[in-house]
Structure 1
Amino acid sequence: MNENIESKVERIKKLLNELVEKGELDYALEVINKCENVIKNDAEIISIKGIIYYAKNEIEKAEEVFKKGLLVDSTYADFYYNLGCVYELKEEYEKAAKFFARSLEFATGEETIEIGKKLNNILCKISTPLKDETKIAFFVKPGLDSFLNDIILGLMDEYFVRKITVTDFKQIDEGMQWADICWFEWCDDLVIYGSRHELAREKKLVCRIHRYEAFTNYIFQVEWENIDKVIFVASHIFDIVNSKLSGNIENKSIIIPNGIRMEDYNFRKREKGFNVAYVGYLNYRKSPNMLLQIINKLKRIDKRYRLFIAGEFQDEENMMYFKYMLKEMSLEEHVIFDGWQKDINAWLEDKDYLVSCSISEGHPVGIMEAMVKGIKPVIHNFVGARDIYPEKYLWNTIDEAVDMILDRNYDSIEYREFISNNYSLKKEIDEIKKAIVNLGGLPKKNRKMNVIDLIHKVNSLVRDNYSVNNEFTELLTIVTPTYNRSNILKEDLENNLKMGKIKKIIVENGSEPNHVAVVKSFDLDKYGIQKIIYLNKNIGPNEGFKIGLDQVETEFFTSLPDDDIILVKNSSKKLDELLREIRDENVFLCCRYVVKLMEDKGPTAFYDRSKYNNLYGKDFLTNMLKTGEIEMFGNGAILHTYEMKHFLENYLPEPIFYACGDYVFLARLFGHKPEKKIIITDKYIYLQRYGKYNTSSLYTMKEQKLYSHLISMLIASYYCLKNSLLSKDEIVDSLLKRAQLLKNLYGLEIGFTNMMVNYIFEKKNVEQFIEIIKDIYNLDMGENIPPEIIEIVNCI
């Protein structure tokens, strides 16, 4: 808000207060209504408007204004206090006490004394003590709350609700701390952040999915194990998402269609007419070309037919085509653009039909709005439409749509009753209240799983048959560095979760004495341990792993950290046979599935890497730079021992890459060997424990780790340029997209990435580049400067 608008608003507030003091209430309302566009989201002025209605004894209007004010600012204490006064006046004392108590939560200073007195007086009038309220925080992005506001208003009397319009992820931190139930409207980056939050295990989390999310990658990034309830607005959207997630959310999902507030729409009994309505955006999904075909056929039958459009184009190409065809088909007089409508109820009043041509919808509200008014629906048979509407409202072809409009059958009462019986707001709110009550009966998320539970859940997740009955092979050794996790390592070894008795090299990486003592107590023969190497200090996972690899004598090895697990598939084909098939090839063998094993909760969302089967290192290298992700590709990889010993002599990730050494390792491996063939097998499965203090945990995702990740992308950029896999423009685009994502998720500013890009393409001095990183970003590479960041400027 600029200074001119701010000063104008302050003048309006001063005027309104003077008018209210003088008792000129109607004039004050007139001022508010005239200035609504400027002051519609100002909490103080909204409160004044409600007070005016209260003073005029228009109590229902005052109540509505105060409640809608809470949709603008749910921390404004006056709204709660004023609603307490409303209910006190209506002698609804229990409700009044609730709102006075809510007001105290956000009040400050001396006003808390007055509110406290008011609350005590009300409590004397009710027989039962005030119970602790369930607090629900609704998280939504700006402009995406159109489906949410009625729900919040419908729950406001029974629950302490807040709408949090998120522009900064810190608002999610604060809201999750405050709430008992965290509701994320839409499956987007907000719920991704919330589901990975350290509080996600303590709170009840709800995600509501509409339509578009089903066709994005967001659904694969949510930690679904931390989501307690998934609400879908339509069954076909559930089918799509559940299928993509391999049934992982089936048991926690429910269908609650959108509801509509019936009383907001005027009804009258209508008859056939000539005014056809279309409501909504005009884009490829809405098939505006079919709209033109329908009105063109109607015009040929009777020139009185008109198409009225309440909406706007979302892309230039559609608009250009639409306007071009209007002229070509001589439809200029038969298509009327009315633009976006604030009052859709009034706009629909003289319309006779509502046409929908969409190829994809969730549970569209626009159709319901028309039907409630008694307008005949003419709905294209999009995927899932049969689950929402009766067959007689649907059409497949243009001719069928035209016939529906020409048909004599027209029953306004039927259309309204269909919505009333199936999709009223009351029905939606009732179903949501049931879901909230059921949330209270769900078990806590911190139950520790035993091995049998674990295996059962893994097999349920990937729908395959994995077990701890692992096969033995003389060709493979497991290298396991351990640091202060001896108890986890011992438990896994006892339960055969480290591939049974397959040979193992343990590197004790300078743990605390009590952990070293546990490792020294290991039964080497029982666990298949060939050697335990004891280090005096922690030299990091990368160096520790290399020391262990130097002791491997088998043809193949795999790295398995102390807190991760490998299970083998029960099948006729032995692991030994598989290794013999690839022993002479230039192959990178990797398991198909990597499952995240959430601390004390069991397995959750996983990576399915089958898409990489029979591709080459260069393909993976290109993808890892474009996306910034590696899908834990190093986890569970089985590699040739001799090759990797020599490779790591020269290309071991530097200490700066403590948190992203696997990214650097893969960039260098595939950068030097772009033709290395990737073989994906479902013979075994990898489980990564994902606890609060893992380096991959959101809880520990500090700036230095994110900066080192961006530098690791610089290394991948070098190899993409060197091997002519991507152009410099594609490199820049990838780096900036990743920076934007990190900004959205963690608040990391993109200045670091801009600085890297400038270094590369302006070929600045490398010493200056390193000093900037050290001085400004507090990231010290020491003497181990990755050679790729020196060489990359020569590739441009």
Structure 2
Amino acid sequence: MGFARCSQGGPLRSLRSLALPGGAKTLKTTILEEVHMDGHTDDYRTGLELAQSGRHSAALEHIRRHLAHSPDDAEALNDAGAILHCLGRSDEAIDHLRRARLLRPDSGEILWNLSETYIAAGRAREAMALFGDMQRLEILSADVLNRAAAVLLDQNDKAAAVEALLCSLKLSPEQRVIQPMVDLILNKRPRIAFFCGADGSSFLNEIVEFTRKRFQTRVFDGRTEEELRQTMQWADICWFEWCTNLAARASQMPKVSRNIVRLHRYEAYAPWPRQVDWSNVDTLIAVGNSATLEALTAAVPDIQARTSVQTVPNGVNLDKFRFTARDKGKNLAMIANLRMVKNPALALQCMQKLHYIDPEYRLFVAGTIQDAALERYLRQMVRALDLEGVVVFEGYQHDVAAWLADKHYILCTSICEGHPVAVLEAMACGLKPVVHNFLGAESVLPREFLFNISEQFCEMIVHGPYEPARYRRYVEENASLKAQLTVVNDLFTRFEMEIDAERKPSIVDTPLRMSGTTLSQQTDPAFATQW
């Protein structure tokens, strides 16, 4: 028994009879007889019959009498919420549906009704918080997303509207009107420019890709100070990757935008932070290592007073670095472009002891050797320690995830790291981390994964527990790309709100609407919502 359409939005659903995408599930009097075998069965049945005939006020009175004696009946709470929604009593409807969801958190019907009620009540952001669970249950539709976006645009919430429309487009790519609408919204959002220092964009690429879908975006590729100035004047928000000379010079120019500087590790020990005019930097992003922040504060003691410091750990793309269940094995991986700070000499000492205990263990090293003297030393010591064929230098790897497929441990012997992405990527694949206790390591990884001396290294590998799913879970909970991008997007959105507040209202600031065509017509004409 699905309730008839009411004037408050999309049709809501009774748990007693529900047609979901992919097939119909009819649960009528059988459920009633099995669940409600008490003196109040008649009230409940009568309430449902009255609701089906459109007599919502009378139906609510009967179902409430039932709930007075069965307050934890999730089905009745859901049906009461649906009726209250049809009566236009949104706050009460939401209260009932929330209570129903606490009792039945994985009910698609309750999720559907709660999202519909939120949207009808103009509380689309709260509806969006449900969309992840709705997608997991395969009940999220482009229509629901488009109607949520319509509400958000009416409220000038461009950030959330874009997220809803991008999700809608991903769900139903055939919708012709969505991308032009997103482009129109982007033209009203802040312009963002990225400036990358000499250490490259490897940590930035996924952030840029994410930003391009949500904001007008440029990546600076100029070489002159005038080109730097022009790009900054174009942008509303400037992001400087690496706190190096580029960030320092830009901070000394007249301030024309919100400025963000992201510092990784080595910059904290270099002269550049002292050259930055931090009063012209709105936010400093650090990647999460306490020792790096201590070094930075030693160089710039008043930095906390001069700018906002925010910690945003690096994020691992969990779709790219997929988990593989693996048994305990004897192949170690090390991923690094080798230089002195990576401390590869310690890796050789560790492998010499491990090889003595069990000659079947092997260490495979991915990455280039960036120092000629270091390369000659390493090759000499491999021979001297009788590790030829035990330690194998395999050079730069284009597909790290594939290269890790037959490995079991990820080794890091650095004396200093910011937020060791290579270690976290390997953990996401299921490798056990075995990490030298570098500066600030305990603020990045649990103590059980750290070693001080080579004997501890051997103990962790030979006798320690091996739990691949746990290593993956740690990354999911502490260092996912999704979490990183959410924080970055929140930062951009906060700046957007400040920028919008500073601008004088004009005709272009009116809420976005589409005349003649509605987004919901792309999926279900019956759910039309005028923009």
TM-score (norm 2): 0.59
Q: Percent identity, aligned pairs only?
A: 34
Preserved contact between residue 411 and residue 435 of structure 2 (Cα < 8 Å): yes
The equivalent residue for 2:275 is: 221
Preserved contact between residue 321 and residue 428 of structure 2 (Cα < 8 Å): yes
Listed one character per residue, the Cα deviations across residues 721-742 of structure 1 (whole Å, up to 9, x for unaligned) are xxxxxxxxxxxxxxxxxxxxxx
The equivalent residue for 1:255 is: 311
User: How far off is 1:192 after superposition?
Assistant: 1.5
The equivalent residue for 2:430 is: 374
Tell me, in whole angstroms, the C-alpha distance in 1 between the residues paired with 2:378 and 2:332.
17
User: How far off is 1:321 after superposition?
Assistant: 1.3
The equivalent residue for 2:443 is: 387
User: How far off is 1:130 after superposition?
Assistant: 7.4
Q: Which of residues 458, 463, 466 is equivalent to 1:402?
A: 458
Listed one character per residue, the Cα deviations across residues 597-626 of structure 1 (whole Å, up to 9, x for unaligned) are xxxxxxxxxxxxxxxxxxxxxxxxxxxxxx
Tell me, in whole angstroms, the C-alpha distance in 1 between the residues paired with 2:186 and 2:287.
35
TM-score (norm 1): 0.40
Q: Which amino acid in 2 is paired with 1:242?
A: T
1:121-140 map, 5 Å = 132-140=188-196
* Unmatched runs of 5 consecutive residues or more in structure 2: 1-165, 503-531
1:355-374 map, 5 Å = 355-374=411-430
Tell me, in whole angstroms, the C-alpha distance in 1 between the residues paired with 2:376 and 2:223.
34
Q: Secondary structure at the match of 1:337?
A: strand
Q: Which amino acid in 1 is paired with 2:360?
A: R
The equivalent residue for 2:299 is: 244
User: How far off is 1:443 after superposition?
Assistant: 9.6
The equivalent residue for 2:340 is: 284
Preserved contact between residue 195 and residue 226 of structure 1 (Cα < 8 Å): yes
Tell me, in whole angstroms, the C-alpha distance in 2 between the residues paired with 1:216 and 1:143.
14
Tell me, in whole angstroms, the C-alpha distance in 2 between the residues paired with 1:143 and 1:213.
11
Q: Secondary structure at the match of 2:332?
A: strand
Preserved contact between residue 251 and residue 277 of structure 2 (Cα < 8 Å): yes
- Count of residue correspondences: 331
Q: Which of residues 191, 200, 211 is equivalent to 1:155?
A: 211
Q: Which amino acid in 1 is paired with 2:397?
A: Q
1:168-567 map, 5 Å = 168-198=224-254, 200=255, 202-236=256-290, 237-250=292-305, 252-440=308-496
Tell me, in whole angstroms, the C-alpha distance in 2 between the residues paired with 1:143 and 1:396.
29
Preserved contact between residue 312 and residue 340 of structure 1 (Cα < 8 Å): yes
User: Residues 148 and 177 (structure 1 numbering): CA distance in 2 closer, same or farther, change over 3 Å?
Assistant: same
Q: Which of residues 156, 169, 181 is equivalent to 1:97?
A: 181
Listed one character per residue, the Cα deviations across residues 202-226 of structure 1 (whole Å, up to 9, x for unaligned) are 3110100001110111111111110
Preserved contact between residue 265 and residue 345 of structure 1 (Cα < 8 Å): yes
Tell me, in whole angstroms, the C-alpha distance in 2 between the residues paired with 1:424 and 1:381.
23
Q: Secondary structure at the match of 1:90?
A: coil
- Give the alignment's Cα RMSD to 1 decimal: 2.3
Tell me, in whole angstroms, the C-alpha distance in 2 between the residues paired with 1:158 and 1:148.
16
User: How far off is 1:155 after superposition?
Assistant: 2.3
Q: Which amino acid in 2 is paired with 1:208?
A: R
Preserved contact between residue 261 and residue 281 of structure 2 (Cα < 8 Å): yes
Q: Which amino acid in 2 is paired with 1:289?
A: A
Tell me, in whole angstroms, the C-alpha distance in 1 between the residues paired with 2:451 and 2:332.
16
Listed one character per residue, the Cα deviations across residues 217-270 of structure 1 (whole Å, up to 9, x for unaligned) are 111111111001110002422232123211223551000010011000232112
1:48-127 map, 5 Å = 90-91=174-175, 93-99=177-183
Listed one character per residue, the Cα deviations across residues 671-724 of structure 1 (whole Å, up to 9, x for unaligned) are xxxxxxxxxxxxxxxxxxxxxxxxxxxxxxxxxxxxxxxxxxxxxxxxxxxxxx
Preserved contact between residue 134 and residue 159 of structure 1 (Cα < 8 Å): yes
User: How far off is 1:162 after superposition?
Assistant: 1.8
Preserved contact between residue 186 and residue 214 of structure 2 (Cα < 8 Å): no
Q: Which amino acid in 2 is paired with 1:238?
A: L
Listed one character per residue, the Cα deviations across residues 381-429 of structure 1 (whole Å, up to 9, x for unaligned) are 1111111111111111111111111124101100001000110000001
Q: Secondary structure at the match of 1:175?
A: helix
Tell me, in whole angstroms, the C-alpha distance in 1 between the residues paired with 2:176 and 2:473.
33
User: How far off is 1:328 after superposition?
Assistant: 1.0
Preserved contact between residue 141 and residue 166 of structure 1 (Cα < 8 Å): no
1:32-51 map, 5 Å = none
Q: Name the structure, 1 or 2, with higher relative contact order (CA <8 Å, separation 6+).
A: 2
Tell me, in whole angstroms, the C-alpha distance in 1 between the residues paired with 2:432 and 2:381.
27
User: Residues 89 and 324 (structure 1 numbering): CA distance in 2 closer, same or farther, change over 3 Å?
Assistant: closer
Tell me, in whole angstroms, the C-alpha distance in 2 between the residues paired with 1:304 and 1:431.
44
* Unmatched runs of 5 consecutive residues or more in structure 1: 1-82, 102-128, 447-796
Tell me, in whole angstroms, the C-alpha distance in 2 between the residues paired with 1:245 and 1:408.
42
Preserved contact between residue 139 and residue 166 of structure 1 (Cα < 8 Å): no
Structure of higher CA gyration radius: 1
User: Residues 131 and 328 (structure 1 numbering): CA distance in 2 closer, same or farther, change over 3 Å?
Assistant: closer
